[in-house]
Amino acid sequence: DSGVTQTPKHLITATGQRVTLRCSPRSGDLSVYWYQQSLDQGLQFLIQYYNGEERAKGNILERFSAQQFPDLHSELNLSSLELGDSALYFCASGHRPSETGELFFGEGSRLTVL
């Protein structure tokens, strides 16, 4: 158990819909990272938040957005869903970005868009 909690574990929805994925980081971790893993793309970095502020942005589509709340949990919002958005979405947490050390990954949310 990494200590990172992601909900829901599985989600099936239709094209054009909007979903929200939630991540609770490990106790004490200030950074949250979101990743997308689809069959043909591998693990892609989407976005990072540190202590409530966006810190880095990767290959995140404009239809996707995220935020980190004062209690440090984070949500990834996916809108106008397309078939190609079907993927595993992982959240990871870590302490201060400048420090060495591991990132802890959750078990992921599997999104299926029909």
Return residues touching other proteins (CB under 8 A): 2, 4, 31, 33, 35, 37, 42-45, 48, 50, 55-56, 58, 88, 90, 92, 94, 96-108
Residue among 18, 35, 16 at smallest CA distance from 74: 35
The least CB distance from residue 43 to other proteins, in Å, is 4
The least CB distance from residue 37 to other proteins, in Å, is 8
Q: Which is nearer to other proteins, 4 or 76 (CB)?
A: 4
Q: Which is nearer to other proteins, 13 or 104 (CB)?
A: 104
Cβ neighbours of 104 (radius 10 Å): 17
Q: Which two tokens stand for residue 25?
A: 């980081």
Q: Are 89 and 23 in contact (CB under 8 A)?
A: no
Q: Which two tokens stand for residue 15?
A: 């094209």
